[in-house]
Amino acid sequence: MRSDLHMMTPQIPVDEARRLAALHATSLFGTGPEEAFDRITRMASKLLHVPTALISLVGADTQWFKSRCGFDPQYGPRDTSFCGHAILSDEPMVVEDASKDPRFADNPSVLGTPHVRFYAGMQLYSVDRAKLGTLCIIDSEPRALGEEELAELHDLARMVEELIHHRQLAIAAQQLHDGLQQNASRAQLAASAGQVEFLLNHDTLTGLANRQALLGTIRDRITDWQQRQVPAAVACLNVDRFKRVNDAFGHAAGDEVLVAVTRCLQAELGADDLLARTGSDEFVLLLSPPADEAALQARLVRLLDSVNSSVSWAGKDISITCSIGVARFPQDGEDADTLLSNANTAMRHAKETGGARTQYFAPSQRRELVRRMALEHQLHRAIEREELFLQYQPKIDLQGGTLAGFEALLRWRHPVHGVVSPEEFVPIAEETGLIVPIGDWLVRTAIRQMAGWHAAGLPEVPVAVNLSARQFLQGDVVGLVGEMLAETQVAPHLLELELTESLSMADPERSLAIMRELRELGVTLSIDDFGTGYSSFAYLKRLPIDKLKIDKSFVNDMVHSSDARAIVQAIVAMAHSMHLHVVAEGVESAPQALALRETGCDQAQGYYYSRPLDAGEAGSFLAPAPAAKVGIARG
Ligand code: C2E
Ligand code: CA
Ligand code: CA
């Protein structure tokens, strides 16, 4: 239809007055080319393989090209501009073929020179988040823009914004300087100083107050809280696993998440609250004094609910959760530094205990944090100082009462604290990435131990090794295991790898592929802690596994709870129907062992049979006579 094809002039944004004021404040409109900007458009043209790249500032009636690569005119009318359309939305505007887009098909720059067919415009924002215009690329051929190219355009646009911001700051500082030299009026000086302060105190990405501004405000607020003798709260908010968002979806998506979090929080803020961005994914909230504890709690719940949302970026939904740490004035600190530091400690605690929650500060968290930081530091050298070692806990065949194998368990003999539990240091190793070299070490050590026992003439039994999610997904487990099996000639099926359910949830496709490769090596795979995670049997069916380990919490409850007993019975039956072997862990008493045997469970492991043993003790356990004795005595 003809009417569909009629060129559309861009609408005027609702915040046009504010937008034009922000554009005016940049002192860029109508100014000539500058090398720093031209460098960016040249890069855009080269990197994205387009003849034309522009920095277009959208004024009241015209668009002004601050930088032009491959394009002559210095300005053009707004009502036939592409950029006028682009600034109406927050999403980048990509027009793959303008001749097929009703907004542009009969646009003079499509029909005539420069014969635009392809256009992609990334919005440029002022410090206070008004849209100034775009960094755009143009081609006279239709084309598409891939996800990665879009991310590159985004990064370049951020460079333009930073340049605008710095230039603006320099101009304001110069004006202030000149004003002081020339004895300008107080009002003029105040205006220039205000402009400098604003630019210094705002974060360019979100337009929020930055750390510097926060510290000033928090000090003023504390004085006020003290005078009025009101309780108040400082909250630190952090995006959970933000690094993973950046790694998986790119920095452009990461930025989008931060802007989305900002918007969510802003919607919940009152006039007296302050929101600041203090680091990459760190936000701080100064909450106006609540009426009482319940009111504070209710506000925190609303804030957390509002940010636990999902952001769409380049056709993908990224779900985000945040952790909040809260320090209360005056009991958790009476000055800005203490309050901020304690809120931050509480936030770290919230993250370490799973995230997506709110945590009030408690002094014990500080001690924990100090210990944790010390351990983290010392863990770096634990391998080379040979402080790590493995213990081996026997697994018993429930029906025959004989030794069925061992589980290797990691230990750290700390020079000061003695033996530190893996439950404490494995999460630290995971978070810092140290789990990859540590995991390598433990896989090598366990397999060499198996070979050692064999060489000493002891019977060959399966040994299970725990693999953490990060080691599994980031390390080269397949290469490592393959290499070690070849080197030691250990029979592959004797090596069992215990994986957790959460591991396969983190990146299902990739973990499935790795599991298949391990299976091809002939290694046995088992799912650890079954029943504590999310996975269902329907899900397990898709995984190439051999074994299931029922979590010790079920075993613990079995004797007193008929429910737990029924659950274990059902798990065993379902597992058997899928040809999976079932191991129960954490068996501590004879009644538990008996109850398990009645369910048909295949193997059991626990203090009832044996504590984890040092390698030497485990070796003697393997020697035929004693092993049989223990097995029979307690089967
Ligand atoms: P897990 O894999 O579930 O290991 C079983 C844990 O239960 C071990 O604790 C073991 O000592 C303990 N246990 C054994 N029998 C009993 C019992 O009868 N009663 C009770 N209450 N507990 C029993 P441990 O060695 O402290 O390990 C704790 C967790 O640390 C392990 O849980 C595993 O998640 C992790 N971990 C241990 N070694 C490694 C390792 O080599 N690599 C990785 N990635 N994680 C490891
Ligand atoms: Ca395990
Ligand atoms: Ca377990």
pTM of the model: 0.59
Nearest CA to ligand 1 atom 23: 586
- Which residues of the chain are modeled with pLDDT < 50? 1-5, 626-633, 635
Q: Which atom of ligand 1 has the smallest separation from the CA of 500?
A: 34
Q: Which ligand is nearest to the CA of 467?
A: 1
Mutate to test the pocket of ligand 1, among 388, 466, 549, 554 (most ligand atoms within 8 A of CB): 466
Cα–Cα distance, 473 to 212 (Å, whole number): 39
Instruction: Name the closest-CA residue to atom 3, ligand 1.
Output: 529
> What's 450's domain CATH number?
3.20.20.450
- Ligand closest to Cα of 466 equals 1
pLDDT of residue 253: 86
Question: Is residue 6 one of the residues assigned to a domain?
Answer: no
Write down which residue in 304, 329, 361 finishes a domain. 361
Ligand 1 atom nearest residue 435's Cα: 44
| Boundary-marking domain end, from 361, 392, 422 | 361
- Of 430, 585, 587, best ligand 1 pocket probe by most atoms within 8 Å of the beta carbon: 585
Task: Report pLDDT digits (tens) over 88-120.
Answer: 998 899 999 999 999 999 999 999 989 999 999
Atom of ligand 1 nearest to the CA of 465: 41
d(CA 499, CA 504): 8
- Classified as helix, coil or strand, 124 is strand
Q: Based on the fold, state whether residues 101 and 245 are members of the same structural domain.
A: no
- Domain assignment present for residue 74? The answer is yes
The last residue of a domain, from among 321, 340, 361: 361
309 and 331 together in one domain: yes
User: Which ligand has the minimum distance to the alpha carbon of residue 422?
Assistant: 1
- 235 and 159: one domain? no
Position 192 in a domain: no
Could you tell me if 535 and 429 lie in one domain? yes
pLDDT at 272: 87
- Which residues, by Cβ under 5 Å, contact ligand 2, an ion? 466, 498, 528
**133 and 253 within one domain:** no
Judgement on whether residues 380 and 356 belong to the same structural domain of the protein: no
Whether residue 215 sits in one domain with residue 149: no
For the chain, percent of residues with pLDDT exceeding 70: 95
For position 632, what pLDDT does the model report? 41
Does the C-beta of 393 come closer than 6 Å to ligand 1? yes
Same domain, 458 and 595: yes
Q: What is the CATH number of the domain that holds 350?
A: 3.30.70.270
Rg over alpha carbons for the chain, rounded to the nearest Å, is 32
Q: Is 531 in the pocket of ligand 1 (CB under 6 A)?
A: no
What pLDDT score was predicted for residue 631? Answer: 44
Identify the nearest ligand to the CA of 549 by its number. Answer: 3
Pairing relationship of beta strands 309-313 and 282-287 according to DSSP bridges: unpaired
For residue 619, is it within any domain?
yes
Q: Is 236 in the pocket of ligand 1 (CB under 6 A)?
A: no
Contact 118, 83 (CB under 8 A): no
Q: 355 and 287, same structural domain?
A: yes
Each as own residue / partner, the long-range contacts of residues 555-560 (CB below 8 Å, 24 or more positions apart, any chain) are 555/584, 555/585, 555/586, 555/587, 555/592, 555/596, 555/606, 556/586, 556/588, 556/592, 558/592, 558/595, 558/596, 559/589, 559/591, 559/592, 559/595
* Residue at 180 is within a domain: no
Q: Which residue's alpha carbon is at the smallest distance from atom 22 of ligand 1?
A: 586
| The two three-digit tokens of residue 242, written as one number | 């933000």
Q: Are residues 152 and 220 both part of a single domain?
A: no
Considering every ligand atom, which ligand is closest to the CA of 423? 1
Residues in CB range of 277: below 8 A, 6 or more apart: 203, 205, 206, 208, 209, 210, 258, 262, 283, 284
In a domain, 4, yes or no: no
Nearest ligand 1 atom to the CA of 608 is: 18
Q: State whether 430 and 540 are in the same domain.
A: yes
Whole-number Å distance between alpha carbons of 109 and 105: 9
* Distance separating the N- and C-terminal Cα atoms of the chain: 84
CATH of the domain at 154: 3.30.450.40
Q: Is the CB of 410 under 6 A from ligand 1?
A: yes
For residues 104 and 97, give the distance between their C-alpha atoms in angstroms, rounded to a whole number. Answer: 9
Cα(204)–Cα(8) distance, rounded to whole angstroms? 32
Does 61 fall in a domain?
yes
- What range defines the domain where residue 558 resides? 374-630
CA of 36 to the centre of ligand 1 (A): 58
- C-alpha dihedral (568, 574, 580, 583), degrees to nearest 10: 0
Single-letter code of the amino acid located at 5: L
Sign of CA dihedral 373, 376, 382, 385: negative
571 touches 547 (CB < 8 A): no
The total number of structural domains in the chain stands at 3
> What are the residues facing 63 on neighbouring strands?
58, 76
Residue 90 lies in a domain: yes
- If asked whether residues 300 and 389 sit together in one domain, one would say no
- Determine the pLDDT at residue 6: 60
Q: Which of 353, 349, 379 is nearest to 364 (CA)?
A: 349
Is the CB–ligand 1 distance for residue 426 below 6 Å? yes
Pocket flag, ligand 1, residue 612 (CB < 6 Å): yes
